[in-house]
Amino acid sequence: MGAILLALATIPTGAPAQHPEALWYAVGSDASTRSFIDHASQIDIVAPQVFDLLPTGAITGHLDPRVVAAAHEHHVKLVPLVMNPGFSQPAIHRVLTVASARRRALRSLAALCRTDHLDGIQFDLENVNVADRQRFTAFVRAAVDSVHHAGCTLSAAVVPRSSDDPGTNSYDRWIFANWRGVYDYKALADTLDFISLMTYAEHTGVSPAGPVAGYPWMEQCLRYVLSLGVAPAKISLGIPSYSDWWFPSYSKKEGPRMIGRDIPFARAESLLAANRVAARWDSIQKSPHAVWSENGVFQYLWMEDARAFVDKLALVAQYHLRGYSVWVLGTEDPALWPSLARPTPVPPF
């Protein structure tokens, strides 16, 4: 670990000495809020997922005053997420295609900046059909102008892909058409202040079991975005702090099936203890994982611990990126915080 941390401190010749920008997402849970309050001094940007962009173009939601107070106390930039509620595809399609909704959305974003005295806004607009790609890019460009005039930055969390090939099987084509293909990374990065490349959820609750964010896949997605000409200084690398557990389930609607669930690191540890198994480190994926049998059916666990976090964080220094964006506060391995400790500034003589 010492060698990795040393690598993170390596600065390209001629570049100013600075730490990578640390953006952490937050949700409304007590665990998430408490984690931010406890570790705010190690965070540059907090991005609470609290605002919804409605089909009418109006924005609803509110910030937790505890998060606002801690951000001000520790000089953390407040950059909440604005999302299409429930990642509704019809909702965002209406904003992109109905002129009155689009105009209202642009006004609402500027008003949100001013009313809540924000440092910035980050779009978390997902499940947007690839057919809306040009309209999406045009809307983001217009939103940048609106938000910048209101004195805020504008960034976007974007779902990653490793090529423009939609694939040949039905799952690959579906996820490309509805989740990955809409983002014109170069055009978005050129107009936005930065993009948070969400290099996590490689495997999900609807996919087979696998790493939350395997190192080869993360690097492949990152290299693809860089190959398009996106400046490294415009990229914040997505890193997960949560783990994934796959187990058999049954419902009257869908019948028996395997499902995957995002869980906190503490829950992953309790599963290992309850089933008397140990996680094994995967040196290629750079994540620990475990498999056990319950009533003759295998269950699978892929974890994101402090070692996995630091190994993946090394990509930020290797590719000279702006920083990193972590989903999500409250699910992390507590052991990762000491590895992110920043040196105490030495006062000048």
Token pair for residue 106? 């642009």
Confidence of residue 342 (pLDDT cuts 50, 70, 90): confident
Q: What is the pLDDT of residue 260?
A: 96
What pLDDT score was predicted for residue 269? 98
In the chain, the largest separation of any two C-alpha atoms, in whole Å, equals 72
Percent of the chain surpassing pLDDT 70? 93
Query: Is residue 182 situated within a structural domain?
Result: yes
Q: Tell me, what CATH number does 199's domain have?
A: 3.20.20.80
The one-letter amino acid at 115: T
Confidence of residue 344 (pLDDT cuts 50, 70, 90): low
Least Cα distance to 204 among 254, 166, 242, 158 occurs for: 242
pLDDT above 90 covers a percentage of the chain that reads 91
220 belongs to a structural domain: yes
Is pLDDT of 7 > 80? no
Residue 259: which pLDDT band, with cuts at 50, 70 and 90? very high
Residue 114 lies in a domain: yes
Residue 273 in any domain: the answer is no
Q: Following CA atoms 113, 157, 300, 335 in sequence, which dihedral angle do they give, to the nearest 10 degrees?
A: -60
Q: d(Cα 180, Cα 129) in Å, to the nearest integer? A: 9
Q: Average per-residue pLDDT in the chain?
A: 94
pLDDT at 188 over 60: yes
Domain span at 224: 2-241+305-339
pLDDT at 14: 34
Asked whether the beta carbons of 238 and 196 are under 8 A apart, the reply is yes
225 falls within a domain: yes
Nearest of 75, 5, 81, 7 to residue 42 by alpha carbon: 75
What distance in Å separates the CA atoms of residue 222 and residue 324, rounded to the nearest whole number? 12
Residue 25 pLDDT exceeds 50: yes
Residue 258, domain member (yes or no) = no
CB 147 within 8 A of CB 113: yes
Is 271 within a domain?
no
Q: Where are the alpha helices (DSSP H) in 150-283?
A: 170-175, 185-191, 215-227, 265-275
Residue 64 lies in a domain: yes
pLDDT tens, 200-237? 999 999 899 999 999 999 999 999 999 999 999 999 99
Q: What's the total number of domains in the chain?
A: 1
What integer is the mean pLDDT of 118-131? Answer: 98
User: Residue 62 corresponds to which amino acid?
Assistant: H
Residue 12 has a pLDDT of 37
pTM above 0.85, yes or no: yes
Integer Cα distance of 157 and 118 in angstroms: 17
Question: Looking at residue 203, what DSSP letter applies?
Answer: S
Q: Does the pLDDT value for residue 10 go beyond 50?
A: no
Check residue 348 and give its pLDDT. Answer: 60
- Model pLDDT for residues 52-99, shown as the tens digit of each residue: 999 999 999 999 999 999 999 999 999 999 999 999 999 999 999 999
| Dist CA 107 CA 22 (whole Å) | 29
At residue 345, does pLDDT exceed 80?
no
